[in-house]
Each structure stands twice: as C-alpha cells, then as structure tokens.
C-alpha cells in the first residue's frame, strides 16, 4: 500500500493551506498566487515529512520578480521538487549559487516561526482529514494505512499535538 502522504498529495494540499497568514510577504500574497513567499517553510515541512536535503539558491527571476533566495527539496531517491515554483508563473527560472543544506540554522529559525507552525498544523489537519480517521487512533493500523504510513501519521499527530494551540485559517 502506498504511503498516505505522497509528494503529489503534499503538493496538491499546499495551495489550500497557504495564505496571507503563512506567507513571508503577506502584502504580496494574493488568492490567485497562494504559494507566494512560502518556499522556505514548505521546504522545511517537506524535509520533516519526506527526508532528503534542502537546496537553497538564488533565482534570477524573469520580468516583475527580482532575484531572490529560493528553497527546493532533493529527496533520498534523487528527485528534486520545487513545491512553490508556481509562485513565479510559467516563466523558466535560472538557479545560481546552489548549495545543499541539511541540519542548519534555517531549520531552527523556520521551525520556530509562527507561520511554519501554522502551516505544519494545517498540513497535519488536511492529511488526517483526507484519511477520515482521528489523530488519536493513528497508533493502530488502519485498513487504508500501512506501517510506513503509520510512521508518517505519528509525525503528523505530533505536529497536531505540538502546534494544536495555533488557530485560524483552514
């Protein structure tokens, strides 16, 4: 059985849980561009769920976007995923000064931010709701969940427990 949280499911959930409240640039965020200024938080959250490393680079972005620092993920199987590239539209992006980071100050800074906590809480709620099971029952093997997925559910449950005091949004 496939894990309950795949990269595609994660990517599909993001536009529904990212908003002005979780954006690093709330004034630039719009409902038409829900992933605006979420790359660092999303990359750290994907790292927490799927492992791998985070790639930080400078993007030479086209037209209206200035050059900015941008974060993507590279997973243990070598797949590189940019969960928030849609914020730049369809234009091709040029990456410069790429470097991989694993355990870094970025993780500590992001994980301690209110925006990250809210995003992690929303992701946990969305995945648990998708399964239609209660978070407190995730220690049991559910008919739709294999043992690998139970590990993910425990992580999501910990996110709910850890950040459960955060309210607001979806």
**What pLDDT is stored for residue 48 in this prediction?**
82
Residue by residue, pLDDT tens for the chain (170 residues) are 345 567 888 899 999 999 999 999 999 999 999 999 999 999 988 888 888 899 999 987 665 666 788 999 999 899 999 999 999 888 788 899 999 987 655 666 776 678 888 888 888 888 777 765 444 444 444 444 444 445 555 666 666 566 554 333 33
DSSP calls for 102-151: SSSHHHHHHHTSHHHHHHHHHHHHHHHHHHT--GGGTTSPPTT--HHHHH
How far is 56 from 5, CA to CA, in rounded Å?
24
Q: What is the pLDDT of residue 26?
A: 93
- The pLDDT, as a whole number, for residue 42 is 94
* The two structure tokens encoding residue 3: 């894990």
SS3 of residue 166 by DSSP: coil
């Amino acid at each position: 059985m496939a894990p309950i949280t795949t990269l595609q499911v994660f990517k599909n959930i993001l536009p529904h849980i990212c908003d002005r409240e979780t954006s690093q640039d709330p004034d630039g965020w719009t409902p038409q561009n829900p992933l605006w200024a979420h790359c660092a938080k999303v990359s750290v959250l994907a790292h927490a769920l799927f492992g791998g490393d985070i790639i930080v680079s400078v993007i030479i972005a086209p037209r209206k976007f200035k050059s900015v620092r941008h974060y993507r993920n590279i997973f243990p199987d070598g797949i590189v995923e940019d969960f928030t590239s849609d914020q730049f539209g369809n234009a091709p992006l040029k990456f410069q000064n790429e470097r991989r980071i694993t355990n870094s100050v970025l993780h500590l800074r992001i994980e301690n931010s209110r925006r990250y906590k809210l995003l992690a809480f929303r992701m946990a709620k969305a995945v648990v709701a998708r399964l239609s099971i209660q978070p407190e029952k995730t220690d049991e093997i559910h008919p739709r969940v294999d043992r690998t997925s139970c590990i993910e559910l425990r992580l999501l449950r910990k996110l709910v427990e850890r950040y459960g005091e955060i309210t607001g949004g979806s």
